[in-house]
Each structure stands twice: as structure tokens, then as C-alpha cells.
Amino acid sequence: MTSASTRCDPVKRETPPGKLTRWTVTAVYAALIFYVSMRPNFGPPLFPHSDKVAHFVLYAGLAFLVVWSLRVTVLRFWPHVPILASLLAVFYGGINEIHQHFIPYREAEALDMVANALGAIVGTLLAMRVARALERRRVRRRLESEGRCV
């Protein structure tokens, strides 16, 4: 057989969601954070500093989604994507804290910003780790599929 007629077994490829889908999910998530921050207090805290834990988790999720979205843009190979994702999430958190200052029964707190920033950093690191693991899996599958060539 010639190399032109060599065929490989079909490999089911996972197509990642496109730019629009990823940015839509990220924007909806950010809008939900904004909506939750517009509401008056939800009642007594579940435990001391539970609001800080909520800030941490929410902004870790936002940073994770920002990294996920940036990985399908022209910036995907830019080495500073993690820094950009963290800064975008922290910036959004800062705007949100300023916004809360004008909401009755809400207040802007410096510790909320700290929780936002720490969550954004952890979310970014987690997203980069997941992205690397998925890339390794993709490469491994591609190499395995090339090994099945006739």
C-alpha cells in the first residue's frame, strides 16, 4: 500500500465548545454573581465568615471560566493568560464591590476583595491544571490512534 492509501481507524474526537458558547457561559455566570450581589442580605451567616467562603468559591469559578474561554481565542498561546484571567476576575469583583456600596443593606468590604482575589488565583491555577491534563489526554489519544494506522 502506498502512503496515500493508508487509512487509520476512525477516532471519535471530542470537539470543544466554541468561542461563543464559552463566553456565553462565562457571561451568564458573571451576571448571576452580579444578580446575587444586588440582593439584600440572605439572613444570618451559616458559620463565621461564610460570606468570604462564598466570595472565594464564586470568583474561583469565574476565573476558571475566563481561562476556559480565553483558551479558544488568539490568546491561547500567550504565556500570560493565567495572569489576565485572574486580573479580569479580580477587576470584576472590584466593580461588584463598588456596586454593592450603593445597594441597601449591603456594603463593600476589603476582606471580600481579598476573598475574590484569592478565589480568582486558585480558580485560574485549577483551570490551567485541568487544561494541561486535557491536552495531555488529547495528545495521548492522538498518538494511540496513529499507532492503529494500517
- pLDDT tens figures, 104-145: 888 888 999 999 999 999 999 999 999 889 888 888 888 888
Residue 16 reports pLDDT greater than 80: no
pLDDT at 6: 46
pTM over 0.85: no
Q: Report the alpha-carbon distance of residue 67 to residue 65 in Å, rounded.
A: 5
- Please, what is the average pLDDT of the chain? 84
* Rg of the chain over all Cα atoms, to the nearest angstrom: 21
Q: Report the alpha-carbon distance of residue 77 to residue 66 in Å, rounded.
A: 15
Q: Which amino acid is at 123?
A: G
Cα 79 from chain centroid (whole Å): 16
> 66 is written with which cell numbers?
475566563
Task: Find the mean pLDDT for residues 83-104.
Answer: 92
pLDDT band at 45 (very low <50, low <70, confident <90, very high): confident
pLDDT at 100: 86
Task: Find the mean pLDDT for residues 37-45.
Answer: 76
> 73 is written with which cell numbers?
481565542
pLDDT band at 12 (very low <50, low <70, confident <90, very high): low
Scanning 3-150, the segments in alpha helix (DSSP H) are 19-38, 50-70, 81-101, 110-147
Which is nearest to 34 in space by CA: 99, 112, 109, 122?
Answer: 99
Which is nearest to 29 in space by CA: 98, 107, 93, 110?
Answer: 93
pLDDT > 90: what percent of the chain?
47
Can you state the angle between helices 81-101 and 19-38, rounded to 10 degrees? 30
